[in-house]
A and B are shown apart, each in its own frame.
Chain A
Amino acid sequence: MTSARGVLGLEEAAKITLGNISSARQRTERRLAERRALFAGIPIDDDATVVLTGSWGRCEVTESSDNDSIILLSGPRREDARPTEAQVAETFDGEPPGREAIFGKHVWLEDLQGKIGREPDSNKNLTRRMLFILESVSVCGADVHADARRALLGRYLSANVKDYRPPRFLLNDLIRYWRTIAVDFESKMRARDGEGWGLRNAKLRLSRKLLFAGGLLPVLECYRYRADEMLEFLDERVSVPPLDRLADAFLEHDAVDTGARVLTAYDEFLGILNDRAKRDELKTLGPSETADSELFAHIAGLGDEFENGLLSVLFDDPALQKWVRDYLIF
């Protein structure tokens, strides 16, 4: 019986080796240390944290990962907050924020926390909040990062949470975010005339699904806890990378074989993403070219294996399937 948890625990239990995940984790730690050293010389307000999201938060940085950052401030709104957006951009080698202008900006905790739902909760606000909770890692202001994430979870849990039931407010927002990602994929691809379709579609099938499932499983697992215990549980869960949360779910629900297949598929996907030639090939693929792409067909297969394993733990496990039935549709 293994005592290790997360990916390591699943590797032990299944007697498998996940070399690409392991390499990506080492690369992430190494590069995070470099970035943390760079930020050590920059003046930062006591209520500020700079976090990296996406592959950084998933602990799976590749050779091509962007520095998608959020500069979060938990204190009062002001003009002269430090670090400035320019300082952060410069520290990340002047890398410009993406076209959606979600990253590299000052973001106020009061917006993430106070504007959940309706008009004020813009697409950007929802995206930043979810990424901050589900897959972010700090390069400076670690305490502010941890406190802000806990405060955001606490906001969701302040709304009518019942003992031994998944917290519905958080669950609904999580599902809304996943569906938003899927709908926005089509919208973005139309706006960009299909540019980068293959790579983005591949990420939708695996990385984005991991982001969602890495939130969904812990939220459903709240059925094990009293309402006053859920914050502690969820806070601990989001403090580890999403793949560890998935691995733990497979271990806890006695689905080691399925977990091995799910993580092996993801491991192979990471190997492809870290291969510059394959990544570049994916970037050039549009929807009409995928039928003839062996690489894309392979990724689609990995995506199916990944999804089928997640669906199996959700729908075949006797404990989880009841909560899935009661909470996931309505």
Chain B
Amino acid sequence: MSTVARDVSPSPFNQLASHHPIGMSTGVFADARKDWPGLVERASAISPYAIELSALSGPELPGLLAYLRSAPALPFRYLSVHAPTKNVEPDEAKVVGMLAQLPLSARTIVTHPDALRNPRNYRVLGTRLILENMDTRKDIGRTAEEMGTFFSLLPDAGFCLDVAHAGDVDASMDVAHELLDRFKSRLRHVHLSSLAEGEHVPLTEEDAARFSEVLGRCRDVPWVLEARPPEAWRSALGAMGPPLDPTTAGERM
């Protein structure tokens, strides 16, 4: 039994940890790439409610597809897959074909606008496809106007708000608000982390304060952590596993 007293006046930073549901992106565990059972175990030890299975690199996708088609008993109420955005098979139709074969237990399939060569190829994914806004390293998909171009080509697609990306484009968070103003009804989940030199790193207290108003508009959707959770959140998350290795690499997601 824990002897640690619960904080009765949580800071805004710790209040965010009480959001429900929070889930992990398996992209955080870069050392275990392609070991899908192992990745799921590590993610579910932090949160058994939501998960994003990250096949960011093209060669990871066939293994993920095989794993999910083996119908593993997974605890998550919300399961998302991040489609490849690096080292992607040149034949886009083949990639989309594999994504379309993902079992329907994968509620959403996230991808980046800049990864779409011919957006119309992705229409077959229907409402399962969700598009994520980009950061300043990309030259498209960063603002509401740029995202609007893609949604006009993919009218059934949902929206994933990457708060750190939006904050990178505009530190005032106006861009994030504009994205929500325009695509609020499409919002399916949030990607949450801070950014350091283009890599996703644990959310800082400073960013938590900067993001909190935007996150307040997203209280009813899952938040997927794209970096290890801040240690201060472990109690609120009810995380069961050992503390995460603080050297866990960030990832460009």
Contact = CB atoms under 8 A, between A and B. Distances in A.
A308 B107 CA distance: 15
Tier of interface size on chain B: 20 to 34
A176 interface: no
Interface in A272-330: 291-294, 297-298, 301, 304-305, 308-309, 311-312, 315-316
Given A14-B184, A16-B185, A294-B126, A257 B104 contact: no
Given A298-B127, A308-B220, A308-B221, A257 B103 contact: no
Interface in A7-54: 14-16
Interface string B64-104: 00000000000001100000000000000000000000011
Nearest to B185: A264
Nearest to A310: B220
B127 to A, nearest CB: 6
B221 A292 contact: no
A260 B104 contact: no
Contact of A261 (B78, B126, B184): B184
A258 B220 contact: yes
Nearest to B78: A304
A261 B77 contact: no
A316 B219 contact: yes
A255 B187 CA distance: 14
A264 B104 CA distance: 21
Contact of B104 (A15, A261, A297, A311): A297
B220 A309 contact: yes
Contacts of A297: 104, 107
A308 B77 CA distance: 11
Contacts of B107: 297, 301, 304
B99 to A, nearest CB: 13
A312 B184 contact: no
A291 B103 contact: yes
B220 A261 contact: yes
Given A292-B104, A297-B104, A301-B127, A257 B218 contact: yes
B185 A258 contact: no
Interface residues of A, number: 25
A255 B184 CA distance: 12
B249 interface: no
Contacts of B185: 14, 16, 260-261, 264
B180 interface: yes
Interface string B114-150: 0000000000001100000000000000000000000
Nearest to B187: A261
Nearest to B18: A316
A99 B78 CA distance: 36
Interface in B180-235: 180-181, 184-185, 187-188, 217-221
A291 B105 CA distance: 8
A316 B103 CA distance: 32
Given A257-B180, A301-B127, A312 B187 contact: no
Nearest to B182: A15
Contacts of B181: 15
Contacts of B221: 261, 305, 308
A294 B124 CA distance: 11
B219 A312 contact: yes
Most chain B C-beta atoms within 10 Å of own C-beta, residue among A257, A264, A291:
A257
A310 B103 CA distance: 27
A260 B219 contact: no
Contacts of B77: 304
Nearest to A296: B104
Contacts of B103: 291
A260 B183 CA distance: 10
Interface in A235-289: 255, 257-258, 260-262, 264
B2 to A, nearest CB: 22
A223 B219 CA distance: 24
A304 B188 CA distance: 10
Contacts of B20: 315
B184 A260 contact: yes
| Closest CB pairs A-B (n = 6) | A312-B220, A297-B104, A264-B185, A257-B217, A309-B220, A258-B220
11 contacts: A14-B184, A264-B185, A294-B126, A297-B104, A298-B126, A301-B127, A304-B78, A304-B107, A305-B221, A308-B221, A311-B220
